[in-house]
Amino acid sequence: MDQYITGAAIKELREQRKMTQLQLAELLQVSDKAVSKWETGKGYPDITLLEPIADAFRISVPELISGHQIKNKNVSANMIRSGFYVCPVCGNVIHSMGEAVIHCHGIQLLPAEPEPGDEQHMAFVERVEDEYFVRIDHEMTKTHYISFIAAVSSDRCQMVKLYPEGEAEARFMIRGVKKIYFYCNRDGLFCQDIVKGIDDKNKAYDDSRERRELEKTADMLFG
């Protein structure tokens, strides 16, 4: 196991719930001295105690091990706040519409931080009837490629998995799409807003500099 519950996390969770060391010890059927040892880093709880400790704090075992408690905000979350977790070992992609504790291949994954597209990572969007045709001007070799493209609206996420030596393009139903996300295996996650007056045209803008200028103009007019 690459990670284990720390004494600092136990102490923080205990104090958040206004529990004494003795009260926690009684719930776990251990001595308060044992709890004190955990919290001061002089010992670790037995692995069989992880689930009882999580139950005592009303959290999941993954939250306990990560030391990161997930707030119950998912009820009001929407897809615009989407998070994408990408495993560096296998390339697995996990989508979440709220906070989550996610592990893959024994690694705790953090949500990829999206960056705005740049000259090497630009999405060109063309409207074709009731779909957006999205193309990324990027090489697709075995060592450098776009691994997925996603189109996100307030109530849904459409995702297309891409593969090396294929085409960096995808089609999505328009249906309120607000953002385009795409992931480069070397440079990470990029995000581009769907811009009124640019992406609702029947012809894409193939020049990144031209698109940048149009985005600035659209932002001034509609931002």
User: Do 210 and 172 sit in the same domain of this protein?
Assistant: yes
pLDDT digit string (tens) for 76-121?
A: 456 778 899 999 888 899 998 877 778 888 788 888 999 988 888 9
**What is residue 134's predicted lDDT score, i.e. its pLDDT?**
95
Structure tokens of 82?
């989407």
Any residues with CB less than 8 A from the CB of 156 and at least 6 apart, and which? 79, 175
What whole-number percentage of the chain has pLDDT above 90? Answer: 43
User: Do 120 and 215 sit in the same domain of this protein?
Assistant: yes
**Residues spanned by the domain of 41:** 7-66
What is the pairing mode between strands 102-104 and 93-96? Answer: unpaired
**What is residue 59's predicted lDDT score, i.e. its pLDDT?**
85
What gap in Å lies between CA 172 and CA 187, rounded to an integer? 24
User: Do 212 and 161 sit in the same domain of this protein?
Assistant: yes
pLDDT digit string (tens) for 37-53?
A: 999 888 888 888 989 99
Structure tokens of 38?
């955990």
CATH code, domain carrying 128: 2.60.40.730
Picking from 214, 198, 85, 67, the residue whose alpha carbon sits closest to that of residue 150 is: 85
What pTM, to 2 d.p., does this model score? 0.66
User: Do 59 and 30 sit in the same domain of this protein?
Assistant: yes
Residue 2 above 50 pLDDT?
no
Any residues with CB less than 8 A from the CB of 218 and at least 6 apart, and which? 195, 196, 197, 198
User: Do 123 and 214 sit in the same domain of this protein?
Assistant: yes
CATH code, domain carrying 54: 1.10.260.40
**What is residue 93's predicted lDDT score, i.e. its pLDDT?**
93
177 assigned to some structural domain: yes
User: Do 91 and 34 sit in the same domain of this protein?
Assistant: no
In the chain, the amino acid numbered 36 is S
Residue 211 above 60 pLDDT?
yes
pLDDT band at 1 (very low <50, low <70, confident <90, very high): very low
159 assigned to some structural domain: yes
Number of domains, the chain: 3
What gap in Å lies between CA 32 and CA 50, rounded to an integer? 17
Query: Could you identify the residue written with the tokens 């020049």?
Result: 207
What gap in Å lies between CA 221 and CA 179, rounded to an integer? 19
pLDDT band at 71 (very low <50, low <70, confident <90, very high): low
User: Do 96 and 170 sit in the same domain of this protein?
Assistant: no
pLDDT digit string (tens) for 167-189?
A: 999 999 998 999 999 999 989 99
Q: What are phi and psi of 29, to 5 degrees?
A: 60, 45
